[in-house]
Amino acid sequence: MTPKAFGIYSGIDDTLRPQQRVQTYKFEQGEIARVTFPDMRIASGISHWVPGLGYVFCFGDPEVVDKMRHDPNCPLCAANLDPTLVDQAKNRPLIGKATRRFAVNFWKYLTRSRTNDTALVPVQGTVEVLKFAGSFYAKLSDMAAKGLDLRKTDFRIRCEEAQFQNLALTDLGAAVYLQDKETAERVLKQFQEDRLDDEDLLAVIGREVSLDEVEAALERLRAGKQASTTSSPVSLADGSVTTAAASEVGTFDLSSLFGD
């Protein structure tokens, strides 16, 4: 299942960046967690990493970017291929390649340790936010397409590589928190109180900027200066196409596959 177009807000998730609005959960190397997804509202957007600006939404046609990984009509896609915008020490582009990213709220059970997936009794846990790439989304989507209701299932997540959050996903069967009514009501109440709403969940993926901000950032990079980190999101209320959010970004509900 390939996500369609939706709409999006702005923001990033790294404590070192002033634009941060929410902290996503970062798995440690070898960490094992028991998790479940009480709702399957997923944020999706195509964004670039831009030094000084953080994750910025792509200006390109999403169908072109999803297929080709770049759109020559997007100034950030073009900058990714610009030989004058290369980190010589690391031999890689300064502007990140256009990448579709996702984010979702999830319930993380408290377990005996970070290498154990047995839920404590009585059930306890925390509401967290997970940001992930297409490979992890494909696992969730494939399971849902085969009829597995992700909202009623527990999973083991094992971190196989921490830097890029390479996560293995295993079906553990029926969700533990749903085994009795009292626990289910308590967990769902906490989840609804602590989860990010769509606006803030979308803020994990990237942020809206104007073409002028992008051009100024690229000029500063060419001049060897980092771009300003104080720019604000630009509203799309007037229908302008001069923001990165003119590309295809937003939230959708994967639970639509479950038939209820």
What's the DSSP call for residue 160? E
Joined tokens for residue 39: 């709702």
Tell me how far apart the alpha carbons of residues 81 and 72 are, in angstroms, rounded to a whole number: 10
pLDDT of res. 202: 84
Confidence (pTM)? 0.77
User: Tokens 């390479």 correspond to what residue?
Assistant: 166
pLDDT of res. 240: 32
Polymer length in residues for the chain:
260
**Which residue numbers in the chain have pLDDT < 50?**
1-21, 228-247, 258-259
Backbone conformation region of residue 183, classed left if phi is above 0, alpha if psi is from -120 to 50, else beta: alpha
pLDDT of res. 129: 96
Q: Distance from CA of residue 4 to its chain's centroid?
A: 15
pLDDT of res. 226: 54
Q: Torsion angle of alpha carbons 8, 14, 20, 23, nearest 10°?
A: 80
Q: Distance from CA of residue 139 to its chain's centroid?
A: 15
Tell me how far apart the alpha carbons of residues 207 and 149 are, in angstroms, rounded to a whole number: 31
Tell me how far apart the alpha carbons of residues 47 and 99 are, in angstroms, rounded to a whole number: 6
Tell me how far apart the alpha carbons of residues 213 and 19 are, in angstroms, rounded to a whole number: 15
